[in-house]
Chain A
Amino acid sequence: GENVEQHPSTLSVQEGDSAVIKCTYSDSASNYFPWYKQELGKRPQLIIDIRSNVGEKKDQRIAVTLNKTAKHFSLHITETQPEDSAVYFCAARYSGGGADGLTFGKGTHLIIQP
């Protein structure tokens, strides 16, 4: 099965600075990598995703990069704002044996310091 490692577990940055969260995955057959933001007690919300045939994707202040050779992908948030404070999860999609789900990293608690 797939294994996803996520670092750091906690990240504190000054408002306005950039934040970077990194993930590695183990299964070279994984082909889809979403990032979710989860606020306390709420559902995970998809913020950006990337497929394995693309190296980089950007949506306003958020970008994701993927290195298939090294099997790692990263989330970049620029010009951070207080509302960016949340737990962020990376995930990788694997498919096989009838299963077709996401394997999640352990999460990064992002704290934006005013």
Chain B
Amino acid sequence: GAVVSQHPSRVICKSGTSVKIECRSLDFQATTMFWYRQFPKQSLMLMATSNEGSKATYEQGVEKDKFLINHASLTLSTLTVTSAHPEDSSFYICSARGGQTFRQYFGPGTRLTVT
């Protein structure tokens, strides 16, 4: 149980374009989803917390107009990187949490490369 999928696993886009990443909880309802960013050989940095049907809460320093998050259903959250630049290249990982637990289960991540 507690399986989270992410799509796509890898994406390459040109500078100035937008990219959408999907995160799905496959076998449970995720009341809360989280988006993290991980640079090579570094830790995970929380970008935003998203509750189903509500606006996302962004961490300090994360531009909400650049990283658009939508959590329209209990099984799907999307992250759109708008006007991507090479410095946005990173590993983006989502996690999902459901019910009364604090446990977060992570998706497999999306490797974004902006050229």
Contact = CB atoms under 8 A, between A and B. Distances in A.
Nearest to B94: A43
A23 to B, nearest CB: 12
* Range of interface residues on A (Cβ < 8 Å): 20 to 34
B103 A105 contact: no
A93 B43 contact: no
Interface of A: 1, 31-32, 34, 36, 42-46, 49, 51, 89, 93, 97-107
A65 B52 CA distance: 33
Closest 10 CB pairs of A and B: A98-B57, A101-B46, A32-B102, A43-B106, A104-B43, A43-B108, A104-B44, A99-B57, A106-B43, A44-B106
A105 B43 contact: yes
B46 A46 contact: no
A43 B57 contact: no
Interface in B31-62: 32, 34, 42-46, 49, 57, 59-60
B105 A93 contact: no
Contact of A101 (B34, B103, B106): B34
